[in-house]
Each structure stands twice: as C-alpha cells, then as structure tokens.
Homo-oligomer: A and B are copies of this chain.
Amino acid sequence: MTSLTLNTEADVATLTEQICNIESVSGNENLLANALEETLRSTGHLEVIRDADALVARTNLGHSKRVVIAGHIDTVPVADNLPVSRRNLDGVDVLWGRGTVDMKAGVAVALKLAVEIPGPNVDVTWVFYDHEEVDAALNGLGRIARNNPQLLESNFAILCEPSSAQVEGGCNGTMRVEVRTAGVKAHSARPWMGKNAIHSLAEVLTRLAANSPAEVEVDGLVYRESLNAVLIDGGIASNVIPDAAKVTVNYRFAPSKSADEAFSYLQEFFAGFEVALIDVAEGARPGLDLPEAAAFVAATGSTAMPKYGWTDVARFSALGIPAVNFGPGDPNKAHADDENVPIEQIFACESALRNWLTN
C-alpha cells in the first residue's frame, strides 16, 4: 500500500495544507484514503472499516447516543491552484487552493479530532468518503448507505461541508422538469400555415418571471424556495416555424415537501402545458427541534441557518437521521478558481466541535 504520512500533531490549518496537497480529484482518492487509513488505525482507539476509498472509523464506548461526523475527500479538478498557498486577502489570512473550501479544511478538522479525542461524550462514527463531486451513482456515502447502512446508524449527523463555520440545517430539495410546447412546422415565409411553438412559451416565461417563491418554515428554519428557467431551447432552422420548444425549470423546494408534492405544485403552476419530470432529489429536514441538534447548535454558539444547496445531508435524512452542515469556508467559493478558506474559520470549527464532544 503506497501511503504518505499525515502529521496530525500540526495545527489544523497546517493539516489542511497537507491534505489539500495530496491531490484527490474524484476517482483519484486512493493515495489520500491510504494516508487517512494509516493515520486512523495508528490511533488505537478507533475501529476502522475500509470500503473502497471510503473510511469509517468509530469509537465503541457504549454511550447511549452516537453521532456521525462526515466529509468527502475528493475535489473537483485542480485549476492550477495546488499546492496550497497562504495569502492575506484584505486583512484576512486564508489558505488558497483547490479543496481548501470544498472540503478538505472540514476533513482536517474531523481527522484531527478523531485522533485527539479518544473518549468523546457520545460515540462518534467518523466517515471519510469518495466520489462526492461526480455522478450521484458513484457517491461513496451513498454506496455505504446502500450496502452497509448499519455503519451510519446514529442519532444525529454533522456533514463538514462549507457553511462559513455556522450551522446550516437540512437542505432544500431539487427537481428538474421540462415544460414543453408543440406547434406545426411551416416555412417562415408563410407562417400562417403553421403554429409557433416558441411563441407558446411566452406564457410559461411570464408565469416564471412574475412568480414570488414561497418561504417555508421547517423545524424552526425558514427555507426560501425558488423556481427558475435554467435552459431554453427551440427551433430547427432560421426559415422554419418551430414545431417544438422547451424550457428546463429547476425547482428548489422546502424539505417539508415530498417529491410528489413538489411535482404536483409544478403541474398546477404550469397548468395548460406539458410538464415532464427529469429528475428529483428530496431535501433534508434540519431536525433542529431534536435535542441532539439543539445541543449542537448551542455548543457551537452559532445561529442556525437553512442550507439552500442540496448536500449529502439528504442521504442521512433519507435514513431517518437528522443532519446539519457545519464546516469552514464560504460555499460560494467552492469549485471557484479562487477557492480559499479563512484560516480563522478552520480553527473555529475545530474548537466548536472539540468543545461539544468533550464538555
């Protein structure tokens, strides 16, 4: 087994640099997974299970409660931004480079605490997984949930996705539909012999442009929904009246709604038009009304906010486990060429999680 050694005695920012500098674009996680496995096994206080390039490492202390703390170890492709550099941006010290935000700073926090806290006040299952940034069918957390769901059994889950070191609860669901119109082809010199399918989209776009999406309270958090045309396409040639056109619409819906409820809403919203479901992923309730979650929010001293982007917390939600996002970095910097994380946020997350697990 080829492996590099990670020095977990370094501070968590330095550990973030080490992890970022082991390039692990989706599909190339092996070397980093090896390094993590060696580090986790060497602690002596964790049961370590390897699953392809994912790792599950857990304490078995007999506590009545168990939490999962998870992070993916892959990144999107490098944009000439490795190795990581330290920079000062408008007075803020940052780590600059691929993975610093999404989400190796979160992975570094989890790894350091996994090593340094042999006796947490709840049992902890640390999960480090592969293939989050690509086709959902490859997702390492999804694979474990399918094949070995007992490994994820817990009362509460924390996903160390970037959330600016604040607790972001649950996530909206996301649905894509195509709204389609039909017409009759004709030569554009004699359009009255046809029917223009693009003109028929006027009403579809008018409804979208006029729409004010709902705000929906779920478990104490207010989720802002949204409904947007993301793609539009129609026409065959510049001298033909088009007989078909379509708008692809993305609906982000509150986690209190099921996929069926979301689709019914869209069918009603676009009444009079053909609406075809393309794909859907239900959201995740934040579960902040549960004692474990409330205690975590209190321990971090943060004000919980709703998460708008769909994340793997929904996979925990699907297993009946409330889950929140909590990690360093601004999610708007994820995947960006100027991806960078404020160092202060890495330390803040480490400190909050350490306090919660040890006090």
Contact = CB atoms under 8 A, between A and B. Distances in A.
Interface residues of A, number: 47
Interface in A173-217: 174, 176, 187-193, 196, 198-203, 205-206, 208-209
A202 B192 contact: no
A189 B238 contact: no
A248 interface: yes
- Interface residues of A: mostly helix, strand, loop or mixed? mixed
Given A231-B235, A235-B232, A226 B187 contact: no
Nearest to A335: B187
Nearest to A227: B191
Nearest to A311: B189
Nearest to A199: B209
Nearest to A213: B191
A229 B176 contact: no
Contacts of A233: 232-233
A230 interface: yes
Given A201-B232, A231-B237, 18 more contacts: A174-B188, A188-B228, A189-B226, A190-B308, A190-B332, A192-B226, A198-B205, A198-B229, A198-B230, A199-B229, A201-B205, A230-B235, A230-B242, A232-B242, A235-B248, A238-B248, A238-B250, A238-B278
Interface of A: 172, 174, 176, 187-193, 196, 198-203, 205-206, 208-209, 224, 226, 228-235, 237-242, 245, 247-248, 250, 252, 278, 308-310, 332
9 A-B pairs with the lowest CB-CB distances in the bound complex, closest first: A202-B205, A231-B235, A189-B309, A198-B229, A199-B209, A189-B308, A202-B209, A232-B234, A202-B206
